[in-house]
Amino acid sequence: MSTSDPHHHSAWRIRAWDDTRLAERFLELGLVAVSEDDIGQDVTRFASEKALRRKILEENPGRSEQAIGTFVTYWRDFSRTMKTGDIIVLAYRDRRETLRAAVGSVAGEYEYRANEPDLRLRHRRAVRWHMTLNRSELDDDLRRAVNTPATINRFRAGDAYSRLAAMASDSEEAHGV
């Protein structure tokens, strides 16, 4: 089943390591980020996924082949597959431990900022945040996808992009954005 709309946009879900403060920084700074920079360089500079896999294995000795494969998929999705204009949902808990979701649009290409003091913000993408809501307000299938434990994943529902984009648009109209 396709996860894209007719204009070839996708919907993604990302986590901030279950760290409320980091999720708040994503919202404040207008971005999403992955990793604690264990790779130490721009992942788009690797000539192939095989080269990236070798580097990840080097930095994560003892990890299973399955875990390494998962990391390679995360990097590919975040740095190459995700596109400007895609919808992104940040799953997080607010300071009251309420399960929240922020809905935004990817607003820039993958960037690596070697001089960023917070290692967790070095591998990033700009995001224009449209709305935040309680996860309970999402349709059941979208909520289940948002609640998955993976760091990043694409929504499987074929109409996820259009439903989330409509929610964001309705929210902006209601708030005069």
Residue 165 has pLDDT above 80, yes or no: yes
Residue 175 has pLDDT above 60, yes or no: no
Q: Which amino acid, one-letter code, is at 8?
A: H
User: So what's the pLDDT on residue 176?
Assistant: 47
**Quick count: other Cβ atoms within 10 Å of Cβ 18?**
11
Residues 12-23 have a mean pLDDT of: 95
Q: In whole angstroms, give the CA distance from residue 38 to residue 143.
A: 30
- Output DSSP code: residue 160: H
Say which CATH class 11-174 falls into.
alpha beta
Q: In whole angstroms, give the CA distance from residue 100 to residue 90.
A: 8
User: So what's the pLDDT on residue 7?
Assistant: 62
**Mean pLDDT for all residues in the chain:** 92
Give the CA angle between residues 150, 172, 14 to the nearest 5°.
10
Q: For 92, what's the count of Cα atoms within 13 Å in the CB-facing half-sphere?
A: 24
Distance between the two ends of the chain, CA-based, in angstroms?
A: 33
Q: Are 90 and 27 in contact (CB under 8 A)?
A: yes
Strand ranges (E), 38-106 = 87-93, 99-106
**Quick count: other Cβ atoms within 10 Å of Cβ 57?**
16
Q: What is the pLDDT of residues 40-96, one digit of tens each?
A: 999 999 999 999 999 999 999 999 999 999 999 999 999 999 999 999 999 999 999
User: So what's the pLDDT on residue 4?
Assistant: 43
Among 69, 22, 60, smallest CA distance to 39 is for 60
Read off the pLDDT band of 127 (50, 70, 90). very high
Read off the pLDDT band of 8 (50, 70, 90). confident
